[in-house]
């Protein structure tokens, strides 16, 4: 799936975004205040897909790096390429601004590790006990940022 159908989120999507990320992330969900901060962040990229909202992506472009904070898709809409479409659109928006990408993912999140791995992200390190429940974070990197998506 290409990045077609992906759009920039605005405050009109605030409540949908809060509910979607709470459902998708449970105890790791952002508070409403943290969600609000992402709408106006300089260098922030906040994208959505689906009407009503089925998935979203949040990233920061800091200097020449893309920091991918989160991609999440509603549970009943998974394995339909929506997260891949969000990722494609995210990289398109970072093109010409960022040359490398970084992200952190829970070590026990097998689905997300497979997802990012399938798109060319490499596991390059770990942050022990990074999450509040003691779970490690896996650090992933994509450099250069625009490898062909398919690693399958
Ligand atoms: C990870 C997540 C975003 C994937 O969303 P998705 O829309 O289902 O992903 P896609 O359909 O675009 O999948 C693209 C590819 O990623 C891989 N993939 C996705 N989910 C996978 C899973 N559960 N197991 C193994 N591989 C998976 C596959 O290679 C897949 O291609 P395929 O379906 O053709 O085999 C989704 O599971 C999710 O929202 N999880 C909860 C939130 C989360 O943990 N986000 C990441 C934290 S940073």
Express each pLDDT in 86-120 by its tens digit: 999 999 999 999 999 999 999 999 999 999 999 99
> Would the pTM of this model clear 0.85, i.e. be above it?
yes
Q: Which domain holds residue 56?
A: 6-142
Residue 34's contacts (CB-CB under 8 Å, 6 or more residues apart) are none
Domain tally, the chain = 1
In a domain, 148, yes or no: no
Residues recognised as catalytic: 104, 116
Q: What is the pLDDT along the chain (152 residues), one digit of tens a residue?
A: 566 799 999 999 999 999 999 999 888 899 999 999 999 899 999 999 999 999 999 999 999 999 999 999 999 999 999 999 999 999 999 999 999 999 999 999 999 999 999 999 999 999 999 998 999 999 999 999 976 554 44
Report pLDDT for 40.
87
Residue with the nearest Cα to atom 45 of ligand 1? Answer: 72
Question: CA 4 → CA 1, 8, 56, 57, distances in Å?
Answer: 8, 12, 14, 14
In a domain, 98, yes or no: yes
In a domain, 29, yes or no: yes
14 CA distance to ligand 1 centroid (A)?
Answer: 23
In a domain, 12, yes or no: yes
Report pLDDT for 26.
85
Give the separation between CA 59 and CA 99, rounded to whole angstroms. Answer: 14
In a domain, 151, yes or no: no
In a domain, 52, yes or no: yes
Pocket of ligand 1 (CB under 6 A): 24-25, 70-73, 78-84, 105, 109, 111-112, 114-115, 118
Backbone angles phi, psi at 12, to 5 degrees: -65, -20
95 CA distance to ligand 1 centroid (A)?
Answer: 23
Element (H, E) at 26: none
Question: Under a CB-based contact definition with an 8 Å cutoff, are residues 47 and 9 in contact?
Answer: yes
67: domain CATH number is 3.40.630.30
In a domain, 91, yes or no: yes
């Amino acid at each position: 799936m290409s990045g077609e159908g992906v759009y920039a989120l605005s405050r009109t999507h605030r409540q949908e975004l809060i509910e979607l990320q709470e459902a998708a992330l449970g105890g790791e969900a952002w508070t409403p205040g943290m969600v609000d901060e992402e709408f106006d962040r300089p260098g922030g990229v906040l994208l959505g897909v689906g009407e009503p909202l089925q998935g979203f992506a949040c990233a920061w472009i800091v200097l020449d790096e893309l920091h991918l904070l989160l991609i999440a898709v509603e549970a009943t809409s998974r394995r339909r390429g929506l997260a891949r479409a969000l990722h494609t659109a995210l990289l398109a928006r970072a093109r010409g601004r960022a040359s490398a990408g970084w992200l952190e993912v829970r070590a026990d999140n097998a689905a997300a590790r497979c997802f990012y791995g399938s798109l060319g992200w490499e596991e390059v390190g770990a942050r022990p006990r990074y999450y509040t429940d003691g779970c490690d974070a896996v650090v992933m990197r994509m450099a250069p940022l625009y490898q062909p998506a398919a690693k399958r």
